[in-house]
Structure 1
């Protein structure tokens, strides 16, 4: 796992072989946006400690959607450090293991990529302490709130921190190469609409589920990519 500073003393990316999570700091209070794959809790804890921070100050884990590369370590981290797990109401039953993971409608070129993604360990059933709706305040980042962004999954969300100009897009938007609509969507048309809604928030920093964060000319780049989707 690689630890990458995005915003000094505020935001770091935790990059795994497939997918990534983000660590947000409000002083000593910590929030994870997504949690990596099953088995990655020790690496995440080590990354937190390497920053001189205490993992017991992890207050919440916000899951952008129900896929295994985003959910896998959330339950272990929450059980170990007492963090609360937050996810949208529509994906919460999947995260808990009560409903199956929704099958995406794959384009032909997505088939080999999808098979590669399935090499990530399955996520164990994970308790969700709070079910989110669009616009819900998340309790960190000086006013972070959830933005329902369905299409990748029914309960996909973005996480917007307007006071800091930061947007976490989950897998609605990807930056593996050029900015693009994320892959493996259950409803591509809804995903495109969500891409455009997220782009309209005009952040100065955008953090994706896959690909490097965007910190320069971000709003314009997102707007252009959304219009082309």
Structure 2
């Protein structure tokens, strides 16, 4: 392993999965979604030309699965031009070190996220007391120490463009983390939301296991700024996306998406914000 790069000392396999695990969906001709246990990764690009990127990097110990899926869609020994990270939580960077070593390509993230990716800063501890279900209760076992991918991570261009993703722009959608981003393409209304909102109730083990589709705010046990989260959801809803893929849950499109997003904006405090938990500002309700 590149001596410069390492995971935190609490890095480990997490025994959580859903019925969607291992399933790939072609959402658009150039957008592929694959579920690794309980989280989604995306391959974006044209399988004909082999110009593509990977968005997010899955769960711990999932590198081989991610490489296999990439080769299934883009051919043996194909490699992405870049990895774009929506944010640096363990379930979105779980295989990043092995993928950088295997593919030797740059990684891009928002500049506010870079301290969490270069060993300088830990995210706040997950909140197992938060109102919610079993996944929240499990959250203390989730890896939380910062990983370090050193010089391999670069900050996203300040003009909003996304390297090797023509047509997409990145949008700062903080709340779940300080440097969380979502990716949007105007021409067809495609949105990669990350965890700004999700399409499954991520803190309920039953819903995660069954992938019951239901729009929700960001995963509760790791979200620390609910005011910023709400503003981020409003920002994404105002784009009027036609199809959305999120960090957890199934893709959503058309009327179901627009109605669900409108409802999430309207009732954010009721739907997304937990009634109690250590990151709840008493003034938000």
> What's the TM-score, normalizing by structure 1?
0.89
User: CA offset at residue 116 of structure 1?
Assistant: 2.7
Give the 3 Å change call, closer, same or farther, for CA 3–187 of structure 1 in structure 2.
same
User: CA offset at residue 188 of structure 1?
Assistant: 0.7
Distance (Å, rounded) in 2 between the aligned partners of 1:164 and 1:107: 40
Q: Which residue in 1 is equivalent to 2:231? A: 193
Distance (Å, rounded) in 1 between the aligned partners of 2:140 and 2:128: 14
Give the 3 Å change call, closer, same or farther, for CA 37–150 of structure 1 in structure 2.
same
More strand by share: 1
Q: Does the 8 A contact of 1:159 with 1:167 survive in 2?
A: yes
Q: Which residue in 1 is equivalent to 2:90? A: 68
Give the 3 Å change call, closer, same or farther, for CA 126–37 of structure 1 in structure 2.
farther
User: CA offset at residue 163 of structure 1?
Assistant: 2.5
Q: Does the 8 A contact of 2:81 with 2:164 survive in 1?
A: no
Does 2:191 match 1:167? yes
Distance (Å, rounded) in 1 between the aligned partners of 2:157 and 2:216: 25
User: CA offset at residue 108 of structure 1?
Assistant: 3.0
Distance (Å, rounded) in 2 between the aligned partners of 1:114 and 1:78: 30
Query: Which residue of 12, 15, 19 maps to 2:32?
Result: 12
User: CA offset at residue 73 of structure 1?
Assistant: 1.1
RMSD, matched Cα? 2.3
SS in 2 for 1:71: coil
Select the structure of larger CA radius of gyration.
2
Distance (Å, rounded) in 1 between the aligned partners of 2:245 and 2:41: 9
Unaligned regions of 5+ residues in structure 2, if any? 1-20, 201-212, 269-285
Distance (Å, rounded) in 1 between the aligned partners of 2:74 and 2:82: 19
Distance (Å, rounded) in 2 between the aligned partners of 1:52 and 1:143: 20
Q: Does the 8 A contact of 1:160 with 1:167 survive in 2?
A: yes
User: CA offset at residue 157 of structure 1?
Assistant: 0.7
User: CA offset at residue 119 of structure 1?
Assistant: 4.7
Q: Which residue in 2 is equivalent to 1:212? A: 250
Q: Which residue in 2 is equivalent to 1:109? A: 131
Q: Does the 8 A contact of 1:174 with 1:208 survive in 2?
A: yes
User: CA offset at residue 213 of structure 1?
Assistant: 0.8
Distance (Å, rounded) in 2 between the aligned partners of 1:228 and 1:107: 23
Does 2:178 match 1:178? no
> What's the TM-score, normalizing by structure 2?
0.73
Q: Which residue in 2 is equivalent to 1:92? A: 114
Q: Which residue in 2 is equivalent to 1:222? A: 261
Unaligned regions of 5+ residues in structure 1, if any? none
Distance (Å, rounded) in 2 between the aligned partners of 1:44 and 1:38: 11
Q: Which residue in 1 is equivalent to 2:164? A: 140
SS in 1 for 2:107: strand
Q: Which residue in 1 is equivalent to 2:280? A: none
Distance (Å, rounded) in 2 between the aligned partners of 1:160 and 1:103: 30
